Amino acid sequence: MSTTAEIGFKPKDKSFFFSHSGLSLLVIFFISVNFKLQFKESILVDIPSGSSSSIIANILYENNLILNPLLFKTYSRFTSSDNSFKAGEYFIDTPESINSLISKIVLGDFFYRKLTLLPGSSLEDVMKLRYLEGLKDDLGNEFKLSMKQKGIILEEGIFYPDTYYYLKGETFSSILIKSHQKWKENYENLWEQRRANLPYKRLMDAITLASIIEKEGLEKEKIAGVFLNRLEVGMKLQSDPTVIYSLGKKFDGDLKRKDLRVRNPYNTYRYKGLPPGPISLVSEESLKAALNPLETEYLYFVSMGNGYHKFSKTLSEHNKAVLKYQINAR
């Protein structure tokens, strides 16, 4: 005899089972797409242009970011996301669910690489950055055309020191153009705020002195005051960084007395006035110092070996400082 009949149990109709089983599957489905798969290391995922949801699902699966490619594809279609994915690099450093991964790729939450231009960098230093990973080196006719269209002539000191972010495949020239535009906007504004009666005829003259100040040390306004005093009385600037720049690759790290006699227009030990142009990129701090120098009677300074300098008004005082901080300190 049926036990079911004895306790008066009556089976439900089929729609009951289907509705409840369907609801259960739906719950399991949504739990699955929101499940976050744990991993130990951060991952950089590259989604190629034109990738379908199937291709993306396989890429994520191969990188151990999802458990089931079919679930990813199904949820992509369910949310109408399969035609909205954006190609690019994505940095995954925390556990992500299928749901959050789809949102990230649909929104284009890309991974940005960075390029940093440092104050004091030469043009040669800047140009070496074109080899950074993910950056398109367009040095050639395309590069020259891009520069020419923006009215940019490649020379020292014309880029703004900063960190610039770029996506994989961006061109090197696009970053330099962005940097020069920032340089132009910021430094032309500072130029308009310069102190009166300075010996500069144009902004690049100020950039030139600022580049020397950049290389000389920390007390920028005081150093600027010394250099401007020297220019005013017709003295040579006698700046070591200009000699080092003039030597180029011949400089071995040790500046010698014979180097001070090198025939090069950038050698401020040999030639009066400003050199022909900047010797490096300049910070806003250095340019501000060149445009608003400290008013001082100092004509000399020598490094004390700690980033700071001993300033002197007379040659006699300066020679004593050189003896103390340079010769006897060796």
Lowest mean pLDDT among 4-18, 44-58, 116-130, 207-221: 4-18
- Model pLDDT, residue 17: 45
Say yes or no to pLDDT of 29 above 90.
no
Please state, in angstroms and rounded to a whole number, the distance separating the CA atoms of residues 86 and 101.
12
- Model pLDDT, residue 168: 94
Token pair of 32 as six digits: 């699955």
Say yes or no to pLDDT of 82 above 80.
yes
Say yes or no to pLDDT of 231 above 70.
yes
pLDDT tens digits, one per residue of 294-328? 999 999 999 888 888 999 999 999 999 999 887 76
Question: Mean pLDDT in the chain?
Answer: 87
Token pair of 183 as six digits: 């340089």
- Model pLDDT, residue 305: 84
Please state, in angstroms and rounded to a whole number, the distance separating the CA atoms of residues 327 and 303.
11
- Model pLDDT, residue 4: 40
Establish how many alpha carbons lie within 13 A of residue 34's alpha carbon, considering only the half-sphere containing its beta carbon: 6
pLDDT tens digits, one per residue of 129-172? 999 999 998 877 677 777 778 888 889 999 999 999 999 999 99
Please say whether the structural domain 37-111 has been given the CATH code 3.40.50.300.
no
What SS3 class is residue 201? Answer: coil
Please state, in angstroms and rounded to a whole number, the distance separating the CA atoms of residues 213 and 204.
14
- Model pLDDT, residue 192: 95
Say yes or no to pLDDT of 10 above 50.
no
Please state, in angstroms and rounded to a whole number, the distance separating the CA atoms of residues 321 and 275.
26
Q: How far is CA 310 from the centre of its chain?
A: 34
- Give which of 187, 186, 195 is closest to 291, Cα–Cα: 195
Do 117 and 159 meet the contact criterion of CB atoms below 8 Å apart?
Answer: yes
Say yes or no to pLDDT of 242 above 80.
yes
Do 193 and 291 meet the contact criterion of CB atoms below 8 Å apart?
Answer: yes
Token pair of 199 as six digits: 């010996």
Token pair of 88 as six digits: 């690019």
- Model pLDDT, residue 8: 41
> 96 pLDDT band (50/70/90 cuts)?
confident
- Model pLDDT, residue 244: 95
3-state secondary structure 208-253: HHHHHHHHHCCCHHHHHHHHHHHHHHCCCCCCHHHHHHHHHHHCCC
For the chain, give every domain's residue range: 37-111, 113-190, 196-296
Do 310 and 217 meet the contact criterion of CB atoms below 8 Å apart?
Answer: no
Sequence-distant (≥ 6) Cβ neighbours of residue 221 within 8 angstroms: 289, 292, 293, 294
pTM assigned to the model: 0.81
